[in-house]
Structure 1
Amino acid sequence: MDSAYVFDSEQATKLLMKNYELVKTSGVSFIDKRIRFLIARLFAGNNEIVQPEKFYEINKEFKRQLGMFTALNGNVRASLVGLLMASDNGKRDSVGQVISNYNTLIEAGFKRTEYTYFAAYLLLESENPTLTAKKAKTIHQLFKKDHPFLTKSEDVTTAVFLANLKEENVEKLAEVTEYYFQEFAAKGFRKNDSLQFLATTGTLLYGEKDSKFIRRVDNVVEELRQKGVKIKPLHYSSIGILAFVMDGRKIDSGLVNLIDDLQNQPGLRFGREFVTALAISLYTEKQSGQMSKEQLEGLMVNVHILIAMEQAAAMSAAAAASAAAASS
């Protein structure tokens, strides 16, 4: 870990905006602006530039393979293309595999929603998608047992992520997740789907009940509040990953500078809540490169994949909000 590392908010902002413009002019139309920014953030977080021609071609391939009658709308399709490209899975066979995984999840009992497509992307990590999908359905049912009114179709993504773990005892996975859920709720976090994802993040990172994670998240929240950052449910998952990545290190002024820089961008006028979520996620991705050897060796799940998952969840929410706005 480089103790002299300083986060450059200006450079991060420029890279994000450059990728945004490339996605915007890629020829893939009718994408919600928030989705474009989330896709741009995937590449900016990796210090990469999106290839607009490839983005267009993979989007076209999804349309070709799925045809007209599908739950996959333009926002979700573009989001999946971004996720595939950012994780070096931007190939034709990856498109076919995502579609195949989607059908596998439907056969396992999940509903036909945009969230199921994001879960299908996560199933790319599985060596046996059919078994993992069945395991995920069992986990989802256990979630529903604990939270019958809270657990909905969007929780398919968290269920699949947990199912990808080597731990076969699904009751243990659900129990550990419930522990984090209740502990964070006791700290004042709102009981909603965002808290469910934060709780899942704890299970994915530690694999067991660990009060250290609770304390670190609590410390990060307090640190951000002292810096004038208001914490909303949209930020929960990013904060959980950030708390792990920072490993007790202090958050430098770069994060607040990034929030301010992004807020001043002409295309980012969605309100501070969305901008803050985007900034925390981007800051976390950059800081993850400074993790210690001990942190990396102890990981149960790849942090970059976890951050991508957090982005998938954010994209799901943004896509759903866009669909709701379009139908109202």
Structure 2
Amino acid sequence: MTEFAFDSGKIVQQLLVNFQEVNNSGVMGVDKRIRFLVAQLFTSENEVIDGQAFKATTTLFKKQLGFFNALDGNTRASLAGLLLVNGQSDEKTVARVIDHYELLVEAGFKRTNFTYFGAYLLLKADKPKHVATRAHDIYMALRKQHPFLTGAEDVTSAVLMAQLDTSLSVEQLAMINEYYFTEFNRAGFRKNDSLQFLAATSTLIFLECDVNHVKKVVQLMKELERADVKIRPLHYVTLGILAYVQESTELDVAFFDLLEAMRHDSGLRWNREFYTAMALSLYTEEQARNMTREQVESLMVSVHVLIAIERAAAASAAAAASVAAASSGGS
């Protein structure tokens, strides 16, 4: 990765270049949100995506899975982008993702596109079969607390918590998760899957109930809303990670410059909620990379893991939004 200069004009220009490369890759039938998500992944690394390598990675999934599987084009493109930006787009890694998907199904998860995101997160697990089993136990504990809210999307949250190096029981993890879910909801965050993911991320980071983290996330939300930046569920996880990596609850001018540049570009202003999510994500990753050595060493979770969480959450949310838009006849 080359050095990332946080220049709003250059970032928007590179984002649009990457978006066009994705469009020209020959990967068809992919929602606009997903195409921008993949473009954003490479923009955050100050790289231009190789369109042919992107297409080749999506083709690997097709070849290894065949026609009869739960993996749709949007999720396949998301996974291909996540693997490619991490230099993991080889045949062996794609096979591991598919194997991990089967492990999650054997553990009790349903065959859905969201289970593939859980399979992607399992790539970092030393004992994926054990993690898959524990993940399902955690999932069932979450479902017990929120039977009508907990759905297929929550496999990602469960897999994240199942990989924790902790002696805490499933019940204790679920209790901490419920604390964050309840406190964020009281502060104005909506009850939905994004809130579950924010709660799970907070649980993973602290492994305890941290009232100061809740206050900091809420302060950041209020700071943004005072600046006329409406916080939606799509932004929840990124906001939680930003509150963790940034000492202050104030956002500097770089974020607002980027948001303004996106707002005024005809290629980006089609969806305010989504371009705000991209701006927050790019800014959060930049803040994480600019942490001092002392700050990084004080973290309980590595910056690389945080970025992986944020990207997986964004991909999962974009895939869900794509499904919702398709079912309602949207673009």
| TM-score, shorter chain, exceeding 0.5 | yes
Structure 2: runs of 5 or more not aligned: none
1:249 Cα offset (Å): 5.7
| Structure 2 residue 149 is matched with structure 1 residue 173 | no
List per-residue Cα deviations over 1:66-104 (Å, max 9, x = no partner).
111111111110100000112221111000000000000
1:132 corresponding residue in structure 2: 131
Kindly tell me: are residues 221 and 327 of structure 1, through their superposed partners in 2, closer, same or farther at Cα, counting changes over 3 Å?
A: closer
In structure 2, do the counterparts of structure 1 residues 315 and 50 end up closer, same or farther at CA, with 3 Å as the change threshold?
same
Say which SS state the counterpart of residue 100 (structure 1) adopts: helix
Q: Distance in 1 between matches of 2:292 and 2:180?
A: 24
Give the match for residue 294 of structure 2.
Answer: 294
Decide whether the 8 Å contact of 2:44 with 2:282 is kept in 1. Answer: yes
- Structure 1 residue aligned with 2:63: 64
Matched, 1:322 2:322: yes
Q: How does 1:200-219 map to 2 (within 5 A)?
A: 200-219=200-219
CA distance in 1, matches of 2:244, 2:193: 20
Instruction: Point out the more displaced range, 66-75 or 164-173.
Output: 164-173
Conserved 8 A contact 1:122-1:161? yes
* Equivalent pair of 2:219/2:249 in contact (CA under 8 Å): no
The Cα offsets for residues 206-228 of structure 1, whole Å up to 9 and x where unpaired, read as 22111121121122112112222
Letter in 2 for 1:175: M
TM-score between the two structures when normalised by the length of structure 1: 0.93
Residue 67 to residue 26, structure 1, CA distance change in 2 (3 Å): same
Q: Distance in 2 between matches of 1:106 and 1:226?
A: 44
2: CA distance, partners of 1:36 / 1:206: 33
How far apart, CA to CA, are the structure 2 residues paired with 1:135 and 1:295? Answer: 31
Q: Distance in 2 between matches of 1:320 and 1:180?
A: 23
Q: Is the 8 A contact 1:224 1:230 kept in 2?
A: yes
Once the 2 structures are TM-superposed, how far is the Cα of residue 144 of structure 1 from its aligned partner?
Answer: 0.7
Residue pair 2:216, 2:249 contacting (<8 A) in 1 also: no
1:145 has 2:141 as partner:
no
* 1:281–1:307 Cα contact (<8 Å) kept: no
Q: Which has the higher contact order (CA 8 A, sep 6+)?
A: 1
- Conserved? CA contact 1:102–1:116, under 8 Å: yes
Q: Secondary structure at the match of 1:251?
A: coil
User: Aligned pair count?
Assistant: 324
Q: Counterpart of 1:254?
A: 254
1:142–1:174 Cα contact (<8 Å) kept: yes
8 Å CA contact 1:206–1:299 kept in 2: the answer is no
Task: Give the root-mean-square deviation of aligned CA atoms.
Answer: 1.8
CA deviation profile, 1:173-227 (whole Å, cap 9, x unmatched): 2121111111111212111111111111211222211112112112211211222
TM-score (norm. length: structure 2):
0.93
Task: Using the aligned pairs only, state the percent identity.
Answer: 51
Contact 2:234–2:317 (8 Å) recurs in 1:
no
Q: CA deviation at 1:250?
A: 2.8
Moved more, 210-219 or 125-134: 210-219
Distance in 2 of aligned mates of 1:48 and 1:192: 34
Between the aligned partners of 1:23 and 1:129, the Cα distance in structure 2 is 32
CA offsets 1:110-146 (integer angstroms, 9 cap, x no match)? 0011100010000001011100000000100110111
Contact conserved, 1:204 with 1:300, CA < 8 A, in 2?
A: no
Q: 2:117 corresponds to which residue?
A: 118
For the Cα contact (< 8 Å) 2:75–2:113, is it kept in 1?
yes
For residues 95 and 76 of structure 1, the distance between their equivalents in structure 2, rounded to whole angstroms, comes to: 13
State the match for 1:272 in structure 2. 272
Looking at structure 2, the residues matched to 270 and 70 of structure 1 have their Cα atoms a distance apart, in angstroms, of 32
What does residue 156 of structure 1 align with? 155
Matched-pair contact (CA < 8 Å) for 1:23–1:50: yes
CA distance in 2, matches of 1:299, 1:165: 15
Q: Which amino acid aligns with 1:74?
A: G
